[in-house]
Amino acid sequence: MKAGVVVFPGSNCDQDLVDALQIIGYKKVVKLWHKNTDLEDCDQIFIPGGFSYGDYLRSGAIARFSPIMKALVRFAEQGGFLMGICNGFQILTEAGLLPGALLRNNNQQFICDYTWITPAFNHGTQAIHTGDQKAFQIPIAHGEGRYYAPDHLLTEMETYEQILFRYCTESGQVTKEANPNGSVGNIAGVTNRSKNVFGMMPHPERVVDERLGATDGKTIFEYLFHFTGQL
């Protein structure tokens, strides 16, 4: 399995993501510069966090027009596994590859903290069994992480089980108090209808090894990979 990590001017979580994927077990991980259009035969593509183009205008709004994005759109349309984390999630929504939008946090401040998330649905036999664990502690670091979608779109997303994760308490309860940024429905991550494009604001790549203090992020990656049967 070969993975590619896209790098934009201002990306700052790309090496973290490369290291995390190697820890998880990828034999080959390459960085893909945003000006290139060759995806180098990667089986899976990841867009990391950071501040692409300095987050001028809206986060992800400029990166959405980088040359590599046309190749990523084709890759996704052909069923390729594509995942965006934090700024990567913002880029995918700006590109129309994921539903909804990411707005300024409701407190109008940058938030850097640990949060708890829980899978929103049991996505059938492809989803891993998480045992008795109902919630996973994953860090967040964003200023524009408040997920928004209009009611009619949220209804469609519920119908097609496109909501991946919701912010919750340590015991897995989805409450207003557990919502760090004001996201509608406590939404922390979503997928497209075809279940091959994924986005989430929390950073699972930061908690994949005991040396980092936790391994919940590894479970999150495995959960997502099983949507496409690639693990």
- Give the active site residues: 86, 203, 205
**Structure-block tokens of residue 37:** 């259009």
Question: Are 67 and 77 within 8 A, CB to CB?
Answer: no
CA distance 87 to 81: 17
Distances (CA, A) of 89 to 1, 48, 84, 172, 209: 22, 8, 4, 23, 23
Distances (CA, A) of 171 to 2, 164, 201, 217, 220: 36, 18, 20, 17, 17
